[in-house]
Every structure is written in C-alpha cells, then in structure tokens.
Structure 1
C-alpha cells in the first residue's frame, strides 16, 4: 500500500514544486507521514483493529510518501550546490538521514520493550515517532530555507550559463543544452533500478534472516543489526568525499555496486553474529550508487525540471521496491529450509550485473 499509493500523487507534487514552491512536496509528504504515525499511535493506545494501519499507510502514500519527500529534498540539495560539489552535497544529506536512522534503530528495541508485559507494548516507541514527525513538519514549514537560485525568475534560470563543460559520466557535453542526452539519462535510470532490485531485496529479507536460525536474534539485537546498516551512510559519505577528488561519477557508482555485491555474497553464508557484521562491513560503500546517479542526472537536466525527474526516479525505485518485496519474500519462503542465503546470492548477482 505504501509503495503503490504515491504513484497517484507524487508526480503531481513534484510538478507543483517545480512550478510554484520547492517546499510543497516536502511539507505535504511530511503531513501524510505525521498522520500515518498518529494512526499507529491510536492503534496501540486504543487497541483499534489492525486494518486501521492500511488506511494510515494509504493516507501517507496519497500525500506523496517517501517518494515525494526524498525527491523534494534531493531537488533542494541539487539547487543549493555547484556541479563540482553536488555528489558530496547529496551524500551529506544522505549521511544526516543515515545518522538519524542509526540513532532510531539503536533505541527502537529498548523503546519497544519499555512497557514490558503490558497490552500497549510499543506505545513509547509510537509516541516518539509522532513527536519526530511533528518536529520535522514544523521545521520544514517554518525554518527550512529554499536556496536563492529558486527565487530567480524562469528567464534568469534559462539565461544563466551553468558550468557543464565536463560531463559527469565522462562524455563530452551535449551541443544543445536544451536537449539533454536522453540515452545517458535512460541508462542511469536502468542502472539505478537494477541496483535497487538488489538492495531492496536484501533489506526486506534481512529482518527475517535475523530472527530465524542460524542467528535467532531478539528485538534488541535486531535493532543493533539494523543500526549497523545505517553506518553505511557514514562510510559512503567518506567514500564520496575522497573518491570525488580523483574519480568520475561512473567510477564511484561501480565502486559502490561492487562493495554491496561482495557484502551480499558474504551474507549468504553467515552462520555466526560476528560473520554478519563482517559482511555488513564489506558493504561500506553501498549507498554511493543511487546518490551519485541522482547527482549525475542533475548535471544533465535543467534546474527547473529537478522535481519532476527526481520524483520519476523515486517512483520507479518505489515501484521496483514493491515488486521486489513480493518476489523476494516468496523466494525466501521457498528456500529458507534448503539454503537460507539464496536471496542474498541473487542480490549479489544483480549488483554485479
């Protein structure tokens, strides 16, 4: 539900953001997220039927969901940076997201068990989630500033020369800036989708993998395991910071894909807790590809189209995620007794592909 409902609204929000105000897609999607978290809180607090959560998830998606939110954030980040430093700027934004996720994952297991043996177990965690969502919405409405380049008229945007002397993917710049190289943009889309297939499949199956043998972790250990995944945001940030000085965007993308593919292959043969953390450690640059693909695309299109293009990419990734979740969960159920690492092996193959 959360993956498909944004298809109805996210592109429209991206178009409105490009045309009227950059914060539209961010604030509307945050409002939907807040309402969804409130639905969770009321379900736990008043013991409402579980079906309420489907309505809350649909409401979140109809407000744009993560697709509209993150495409809006990436558009703001792209507009507020020069082409030469854009990859670093976008990975810094991803780093902040990752650090937040790390803190949340570390605390989630403890917060969930705060009211032990009580019928409202999880109430503290749900209340914290509502508080964070409320803060995010009001911060975006009242504090977040739009880069001044957005305030310029459309005429100014079309007349100012942007530095495109060096193409991000190593090819010469197009002769006509009005017509971006569609073939390169299409290939970047395909690369992002295939890689996302691998990543989403692994991330979706991982909690099930943690809970079952051979690991058989409890809630706190699962929280720590998920937190280990968020450290990838930090290592990927450091990777972009270093690699962007001497490598092209395409090279950085491939480094990230090889990093994730190798880690997924190791994950397939994990038997002990320490082996799990070694496999996650090998994935240290796994975040670089998608972020750098966004940066590469932003250098090939006009600033006035960022919202629409980024939301199309995010919707493509969201749709891919829905299909991947269904397929991977089926594969996991069919193979967990024979070879529990089948899904991770498949992800490794897709990543190298």
Structure 2
C-alpha cells in the first residue's frame, strides 16, 4: 500500500528518541506514555498486506523527544502534561487542567500538614496561633544552609531575613496580606533577590521594579497558593488558551533572556533577574506560571504580562543570530572585536561559553 510521504510510524518515533540520545526508549514505554496522555495515539490508515498501518500525527517525534528530556528533570505525570501543553503539543486541555490543579492542591495540602506538625511540636493551635507557627517555620527556613535552603542572593541580617520569610509564607503559601512597613517590604525584595531591579537597567530601558515595595502584599490576591489553586480549577477553556502563550514566554523565553543578560554583564543576578534563570530547569514552574498568567488576567495585569510576552518574542531569533559567531573563524572574530576594548572581549567570551553550554537554548537541558 502506498503511504503518504512524511507520515510517522512507531519506528520513526523510536529512531527519533535514539538519535536524541535516548537509546533505552522502547515500544512498551511508548505505550505507557500514550496511556498516560503524554503522547498522541496513532490512527489506523489501512493495511500493508495483512498488516495494519498505524500513523502518528506530525510532530509526535518532537513531542516524544521533549517528553524524554523533561523526564530527566521530573517523572511527575501531572507536571509533564502541563509542560507539554505549554510547549504547544496536543495534550487534552481537560487533562491539563486536572493535572495542574492536582499539583497545586497537593502542595497546598503539604503546606497545611507542615504547619500542623510544627504547631503540634510547639504545643500551639494551628489556627489560633498561626502567626506564631509561621514565624517558627520561617526562622528554621531562613537559617537553613545547603542544597534545599532558601537562596541568599543578597546579604540580609538573620532576624530581618526570618521576618521576611515569614511574610513571604503568609503572602504566597497562605494567601494572607500581612501588615508590613515599607522598610520590611524592601527587605522582602532583598530576600527574593529582586531589589537590584530598582537601579540596574537593561540597556536603555527604565528599571523594571518601580512603585512601593509594600505593593507586593497585594499580590496575595492572585499569586498565592490558595488563589492559584482556585483559578486553575475554575478558569474557562478560553481563559486557559489565552494564558498559554504568556505562560510559555515566562517559562521558556524569560530564563533564556535572564541567562543572556548574565552572560553579557558577567552578573548572575543582574537587575534582580537571577531567580528567573532556572525556571525552565524546574518543570513544576510551568504549573505556577500558568496559574500566574490566569490570575494576572483576572487581576487586570494582563497588559503587563502580554507586554512582557511580546518583548520576549524576538529572543529565539536573537539567540540564533548569536550562534553565528560559533561558525566564525577565530581570526575574523578577533578582527571584529579589536579596538572595542577588554570589556567587549570578555563579554564575547562569556556569550560564546553560554552558547556552547546550551545556556541560551530554551527548554530542558541535560542534567549531567
């Protein structure tokens, strides 16, 4: 039987996986992915003699490769569904909605359990004494060192750091709006690492962080764990589709922009954006960013989010232009840089290293 050109069969998908370095990919695993809604099902188009012919939708080979790359970072099926949907692959929206809601509901339950456990340890009532319980948890979190510690991008005195972490737990974990002074809010910005965004500029643009620091408290209305869980569950299909491209820009393009800025300036937290550099290395961030995009729209922040999306849109093409330098002979590169000073030389070398390391490519990068 004549088969339409460029159709994809099972073996084409397995070969694509092998070519991408996933030599252990098997037909059985592919079936598991189909059962989990992570891969589309093939369609029977006829027979080749007595053998049925099954073909996959175009792009299924790319979907499989991306799925395998993301699985190096997480094997949580719910998270993977959301990530693939954000990337534009055909995953059922109802399944994505259920998965995203399940992820945040589980996190919310874990937060509640942790607070109850701490209250029990201290002999306090988890509801009546919630502020004291949160303060105790924050003190431990603020002092913790090591791999799972809260990052310390900017030095803050221990007591102020603990108070800031307590306020962050109230805002983002509990959805409360604590009464904070402007000075305390500025300390929160330091703990988050975003405070340089008030003074450092990206090229000729104005600083991106403006207005009173205490306005952060109002964000509890739409970026807290309880509110995000609610909006994921009750947003309409059209709201989900409208949130898709902003979430993709935040999840896939913003980290590339941030890493590019770090390469060009030599500062890991330039303009307070360092915390965004690892968004695409943490697949669960896809869930948070979808919820953020949905909540921002309802909070009349859609213009800001869409503006950011549009400003990030050119970056894939800009990175492709940067990659042209990798094919340039060394003597030609030296001639182009000559006369621009040591700073330009250092910047160019940092960019070349970032390109070679894949730091300016969107999406999952090898874990090894």
> What TM-score range do you get, normalising by the shorter chain?
under 0.3
State the TM-score, normalizing by the size of structure 2. Answer: 0.26
Name whichever structure is richer in helix by fraction.
1
Question: What's the TM-score, normalizing by structure 1?
Answer: 0.26
Q: Of the two, which has the highest radius of gyration? A: 2
More contact order relative to length (CA 8 Å, sep ≥ 6): 1
